Structure 1
Amino acid sequence: MLVGKKEIEVRYAETDQMGVVYHANYLVWMELGRTSIIEDLGFKYADMEKEGVISPVIDIQASYKKPVRYGEKAMVHTWIEEYDGFRVTYGYEIFTESGDTALKGMSQHVCVMQDTFRPISIRKKFPIWHEAYEKHKKQPVATE
């Protein structure tokens, strides 16, 4: 399983009056992590969009554990939690500068044609992406 890593330097604009990162900004960081792991696999969202395909979020979850503050750096870890040829679920863990878990989350996506929003098969439309996702997705734990 590939785990992408993206360092984030917390900007003042991302924080609230207490100097703590505002909760919605973690969703932006999750997107940065997602884009980063896609690039780690050798692809770009922009190339998919050039073919008229977009990948909307259909579910997102975030569990906040510890605050990240202005002046710190955060580290976003991203991986492919599940993939079935149509849906992709990305897993996230965001760490504080000291290495504590700040957030655990996931986002689920489908690929659709931009003009009709009709779902498409990643397996058929982007077979090279499909192979990479199959190869690098999280593997189930074997039980005896």
Structure 2
Amino acid sequence: MKKYPGYVRKPFYYETDKMGIIHHANYIRWFEEARVDVLSFMNYPFEKIEADGIMIPVLGISSEYKEMIRFGDEIVIQPIVTKYTGTRMNFEYRIYKGDTLATVGTSQHCFMSSETNRLVHLKKQHPRLHELFLDYYESTKESL
């Protein structure tokens, strides 16, 4: 798999707080934007996953702020898969402002059937998607 270049974004003014820095709640949205962008990069967009009857709920999320990000800064978000089992997947997000690591976050997910609300084993039930996630996991392991 070709290496994912990262999700490039410029924060909007409405995402700032009274101190002129990005409000912490926006980082969770940015993590999701990066995950959705990775799926498009893998040529398996989120819409296709949903059409296949798969949900990917968030089980947990965290964020650690190292440097302030402000309106007008250009950032790159690198979503790295830290664990993939075929039923669960964990991400680490590294947000860079230039060469500076500004934020590190994590999220934990599982794969569920939208029809039954039960856990889905991608290797058995959706082997193509399983292979894509496995390839992405392997391609990002070196970043850890």
TM-score (norm 2): 0.87
Provide the aligned C-alpha RMSD in A: 1.9
Name the count of aligned residue pairs: 140
- Cα offsets for 1:64-105 (capped at 9, x unmatched): 111100121111111222111110112210012x32111111
Q: CA deviation at 1:106?
A: 1.5
- Could you tell me whether the CA contact under 8 Å between 1:37 and 1:79 is conserved in 2? no
8 Å CA contact retained: 2:81, 2:141: no
Aligned to 1:124: 124
Consecutive unaligned residues of structure 1, counting only runs of 5 or more, are: none
CA shift in 2, pair 1:69/1:43, >3 Å: same
Q: Percent identity at matched positions?
A: 28
- Which residues of structure 2 form unaligned runs of 5+? none
CA distance in 1, matches of 2:26, 2:17: 11
Displaced runs of 4+ in structure 1, greater than 2 A? Answer: 1-4, 138-141
Tell me which amino acid in the other structure corresponds to 1:131: E
Cα offset, 1:9, TM superposition: 1.1
Question: Structure 2 vs 1, CA of residues 140 and 74 (structure 1 numbering), >3 Å: closer, same or farther?
Answer: closer
Q: Distance in 1 between matches of 2:5 and 2:133?
A: 13
For 1:116, what is the secondary structure of its paired residue?
coil
Q: Does 1:9 align with 2:10?
A: yes
Alignment partner of 1:69: what SS?
A: coil
